[in-house]
Structure 1
Amino acid sequence: MRLDVVITGVGGQGNVLASRIIARAAMEFGLPVKTSEAIGMAQREGVVMSQVRMGFGQYGALIPDGGGDVLLGFELAETVRGLPKVKRGGVVLANTENIFPVSVSLGLSEYNPVKLALYLKENTENLHFIDATALAVQAGTGKATNIVMLGALSSLNVLPFEDYLLKEVMLDLIPPRLHQVNLKAFELGQQAMGGA
């Protein structure tokens, strides 16, 4: 069993925590795991890409272009940017949130959410949109966008382990005072994909 997961977004969205939750859940399930993270120049709103490779027969921590089984896109433009990492027929779960880069504010580039969504629709076979940030706010904090995405992922039947393992690891990695809001966020993500 092998599964390669790419997580892409911008700084501050909880990308790294999400990758650590997936990786540790896979390890607790008994799979070997390798991870990699590329963090942009800015701590907040810089590009962040994490890669989680689980299973037997993995040779390195970096997923080759066209090799990813799953792409979790925490931000729409970053989902488009990460698309080359996913194999044909791979699962793409895209948060519809838009975070406009500084270059857009300065008038140096364009950010068109409609064109980005259309590009994803035209270039993926297994695409799922979710307004994860709105669901996170509904759960109690926009900072739980990553957990909404993990809940949604757990309902797509691509992970080799059950959702309870993701939840257990999540609860172990976050402070107890944040457990309830994150459990709610996880459940809302599942429900958005027709699960739990």
Structure 2
Amino acid sequence: MKETATNVYVVGVGGQGAVMATELTSEVALAAGYDVKKGEVHGMSQRGGIIASHARFGKNITSPVIGKGEADYILAFEAVEALRSIEWLKPGGTIIVNEQKIVPPIAHFLKIEYPDNIKEKLEDGKRKVITLNAFEKAVEVGSELLVNTLLLGVLSKLLELPEKTWKEVLTKRFGTKMLELNMKAFEAGRTMKF
């Protein structure tokens, strides 16, 4: 068992499955024998609201909160949220970015322009950046609703948690009807090359 904490910071827009991704990651870590703490720190989980949640696991975790500069991994369900959350990633950490653009309603209201060159802004040599269009890949697999499971597949390759445990947790979480598609999306994420 790893002695130090592993910190996973998950960001996105409400309705994308970011909260569920945090819950599933936490369940897998717990099933693998780790002490786990998780929490949603800010944001609103209704469709369109900005979400940020934390999952921490290790031998002895005392707080669910990840401090700025302490995340080992950021799982960003939306590109701008990746850029906004970069200060949470520790030097040398890894950020997984879904390139899908979802402009939050508040941005329309405040007439804020969606920034260009997000990938280039993230790739400054201080971190590992993994980008993919998870929405398009999920549609290829079978449904746009599979984005979160596909991104979890990518994340699962990086975390020191057994693949078997991921699959056991996914099997418990999804009903028979959705299990096959979710497993297909999870595998698609795990087998992507970066």
Assess same fold via TM > 0.5: yes
Cα distance change on mapping 1:188 and 1:61 into 2, 3 Å: same
* Number of the residue aligned with 1:179: 179
8 Å Cα contact 1:92/1:124 also seen in 2 = no
CA 33–41 in structure 1, closer or farther in 2 if over 3 Å, else same: closer
The offset of 1:118, in angstroms, is: 1.5
Aligned with residue 119 of structure 2, among 94, 117, 120: 117
Instruction: Please name the residue that 2:169 is paired with.
Output: 169
C-alpha distance 41-61 of structure 1, shift in aligned 2 (>3 A): closer
Which residue matches 1:16? 19
Paired residue for 1:87?
A: 90
- Across the two proteins, how many residue pairs are aligned to each other? 191
Equivalent of residue 126 in structure 1, options 114, 125, 128? 128
CA offsets 1:31-57 (integer angstroms, 9 cap, x no match): 000001135346101111110010024
State the 1:61 CA deviation: 0.8
Contact 1:152/1:193 (CA < 8 Å) preserved in 2? no
Going from structure 1 to structure 2, the CA distance change for 1:42 and 1:162 (only over 3 Å counts) comes to closer
Q: If the length of structure 1 is used for normalisation, what is the TM-score?
A: 0.91
C-alpha contact 1:4 1:52 (8 A) present in aligned 2: yes
Q: Percent identity at matched positions?
A: 31
Q: Residue 151 of structure 1 is aligned with which of 144, 150, 153?
A: 153
| Kept after mapping to 1: 8 A contact 2:150/2:185 | yes
- Unpaired segments ≥5 residues, structure 2: none
1:63-102 equivalences in 2 (<5 Å): 63-102=66-105
Deviations 1:50-82 (A, max 9, x none): 100100242211001001101000100011111
When the two structures are superposed, what TM-score results if normalisation uses the length of structure 2? 0.91
Query: Does the 8 A contact of 2:15 with 2:45 survive in 1?
Result: no
The answer for unaligned runs of 5 or more in structure 1 is none
